[in-house]
Structure 1
Amino acid sequence: MIGWLLATAGTAALGSIFPLVNIELYLLGIVSTVDGISWWAVGLAAALGQVAGKTLFYFAGKGGFALGERLRKRIEAKRRGRWAAWFEKFHRRTEERPWWGLGVLCLTAVPGIPPYSLMCFLSGAAGIPLLGFLAASLVGRGLHFLIVAGAPELLHWLPAALGS
């Protein structure tokens, strides 16, 4: 079981950087075909792996990588643009009310919309503390992956619960 959990976390981390790797399909396949593995453990492993990978986006937003600096310069060059105005508003609100920024991050982590990758980058750029970023991301992504991994179990349980 440990091997499956490590493989799940690794696949989730890879999928967080390369979106062609679909961790949701992977989770459904694992939970449906592998005997003796709990759906909640697989869901939590996927959340840990994905948050570990998305932390790179957070550090890029903080300017820890050349990519973050280039994107920050582009935003500053287009200050009059719609996205730059939205970013400035997000940054200002996050500075005034840090819990608001963490709440937005957590809420976007559950469905992944607006793109969670963008929110990770913006969280770093807006100055959200790393521990707050990790906590909000783990809560949101954990909920997301527990729902995905628990779906096959729910589908087995639902007909019996409805009396069919």
Structure 2
Amino acid sequence: MWWLLLGTLGFGALSALVPGVPIEAWLGGVGALVDQIGIWPVAFAAALGHGLGKLPWYALGRWSLGWPWMRRQMEKPAVATRYESLVDWTERHPGWGQATMLASSVVGLPPLAVFIVVAGQLRMSPLACLVSMTVGRTLRFAGILGAFVWAIDLFRS
């Protein structure tokens, strides 16, 4: 069943990179197969793939600060001051950024696709972001898989 874990990791990455490719649909499909492996390994594989797939969005956030439009915005004293104060606050209180990343990964508020770009702009640690996303998404995906397994078991009886 290694192919199930590898496929789930890959589909998780694809889902994170391409808007409109729902990992939940994949999880629903593999819900019937997790009996042989277990919910947690499949949820972890999906979460790790999803987290790795979000890292290019993090990089986009980091790189976007060099774009001409963003540079013009950052030349405005009010914008530059606010940005630097947010970066400073995030660096002094890394736990809040990671807690927000974790919450976003579990419940989707703020939307993870948006927050990962902001995390890049605020220069949060990419490794800490990956760990928070993986933990949060593992919990989320285990819940989704558990619901699918429960529904499948209900219809089998």
TM-score class, shorter: 0.7 to 0.9
- The answer to whether the Cα contact below 8 Å between 1:109 and 1:116 also exists between their aligned partners in 2 is yes
- The answer to whether the Cα contact below 8 Å between 1:9 and 1:45 also exists between their aligned partners in 2 is yes
Does 2:92 match 1:96?
yes
What is the TM-score with the length of structure 1 in the denominator? 0.77
Which aligned pairs between 1:13-162 and structure 2 lie closer than 5 A?
A: 13-32=13-32, 36-63=36-63, 69-70=66-67, 72-73=70-71, 76=74, 90-155=86-151
Provide the C-alpha distance between the structure 2 equivalents of 1:68 and 1:53, rounded to a whole number of angstroms. 21
Unmatched segments (≥5 aa) in structure 2: none
Identity, % of aligned pairs?
33
The aligned residue for residue 161 of structure 1 is: none
Provide the C-alpha distance between the structure 2 equivalents of 1:75 and 1:151, rounded to a whole number of angstroms. 46
Measured on the aligned residues, the alpha-carbon RMSD in Å equals: 2.9
Change (3 A) 1:54 1:157: same
For residue 77 of structure 1, report the CA deviation from its aligned partner. Answer: 6.9
Partner of 2:123, secondary structure, is coil
Change (3 A) 1:50 1:4: same
Change (3 A) 1:132 1:146: same
Change (3 A) 1:23 1:74: farther
Change (3 A) 1:88 1:155: farther
What is the TM-score with the length of structure 2 in the denominator? 0.80
Change (3 A) 1:155 1:6: same
Once the two structures are superposed, residues 23-67 of structure 1 have per-residue CA deviations (whole angstroms, 9 ceiling, x without a partner) of 11110111135763422221111001100100111122222xxx5
Unmatched segments (≥5 aa) in structure 1: 159-164
